[in-house]
Structure 1
Amino acid sequence: MKMMKKQAQAGFTLIELMIVVAIIGILAAVAIPAYQNYVAKSKFAAALGEVSAAKTPFDVMMNDGAGPAAIGDLPVQASTANCTLALVAANGGLTCTIVGGPTAVATKVITLTRTAAGAWTCAANVLAADQTKIIGPAAVCTANG
């Protein structure tokens, strides 16, 4: 009588594969929202940087006594990959409407307002609940959405 040899197991069992899939699902549930917050924060920071770059030429024109009448009067691009710039009425400041990006920041408006003394304030119409996720806890801008 011939003896049958038991073959060694090759591969993973169904239970082992299900455990791996569950672990990957848990990691994705944590990582995806964190990544979305990171992308929103970086898009907001890029847009804020672009609108902030227009402050200096705006100040120069105001100090020369002739404030800009249109965004085209400033030596900046009116539309970039991150925002569309516009002037606040009557030399009050600048706005940046964020272009693209995640829902948390898409079409949100960053407003830089210049005081008569030349100081700048920043406000953004993001939700107050999203402020720490997008703007940061030490807010560069105040949330007014």
Structure 2
Amino acid sequence: MKDIRINHAQKGFTLIELMIVVAIIGILAAIAIPQYQDYIARSQMNRVYGEVSALKTAAEENLLRGNTTLTPGVLGYTTSNLISSLDTSSFQTNGDGSGAIIATVGTDASTAITGTELAVSRSAAGAWSCQVTGRPASVYDGSFTPSGCN
């Protein structure tokens, strides 16, 4: 007579094992999602800073040629999905070469930075600086500010 053995090995996962996996995924998601959203806001602010800073060279060239009517078009600005408005009017009113290029972050950006204003300012002496304004401190996280800005 042949010896017939039936294999009764476990096939699949138990309910408790599945619950543990779901709990671990939930904990990881609770930590990772807010960190990801902060990363997105920081990277978008850095992109806005880069786009506005790129206009400094054109502003300097125009100011050296005596042109204080610096519109976004004169500076070579092309639209951005992160910037809702770009203001350069302070160069015209100051007349001494000082002024600011002010970008307002639009609604296509992360909600944590929507409405924030990033200003790249030029002093009459020709020194450039950067400030982030337009959002209450209770809403805006300072870690979103690009390095080199206040």
What SS class does the counterpart of residue 70 from structure 1 fall into? Answer: coil
State the shift of 1:88 in Å.
4.2
1:17 is paired with a residue whose SS is helix
Conservation of the 8 A alpha-carbon contact between 1:40 and 1:104: yes
Shift in Å, 1:85 = 2.1
The 2-side partners of 1:45 and 1:95 are apart by: 14
Whether 1:130 aligns to 2:131 is: no
Structure 2 distance, partners of 1:119, 1:110, is 17
- Please, which moves more after superposition, 51-60 or 101-110? 101-110
For 1:95, the aligned partner's letter is I
In 2, are the aligned partners of 1:68 and 1:74 still within 8 Å (CA)?
A: no
> How many angstroms does 1:68 deviate by?
2.1
Distance in 2 between residues matched to 1:30 and 1:88, nearest whole Å = 43
- Give the aligned length: 134
Alpha-carbon offset, residue 98 of structure 1: 1.7
Q: CA RMSD in A?
A: 2.0
- Secondary structure of 1:58's match? helix
TM-score by length of 1: 0.82
- Show structure 2 runs of 5+ residues with no match: 1-5
**Secondary structure class of the residue paired with 1:7:** coil
Distance 2:115 2:16 in 1: 46
**Equivalent residues in 2 for 1:43-82, closer than 5 Å:** 43-77=44-78, 79-82=79-82
Shift in Å, 1:69: 4.4
TM-score under structure 2 length normalisation: 0.79
Structure 1's 9 and 72: CA in aligned 2 closer, same or farther, altered over 3 A? same
Identical counterparts, % of pairs: 41
2:118 aligned residue (81, 106, 110): 110
Q: Which residue of 2 aligns with 1:20?
A: 21
In structure 1, C-alpha distance between the alignment counterparts of 2:42 and 2:69, rounded to whole Å: 30
Comparing 85-94 with 15-24, greater Cα deviation is found at: 85-94
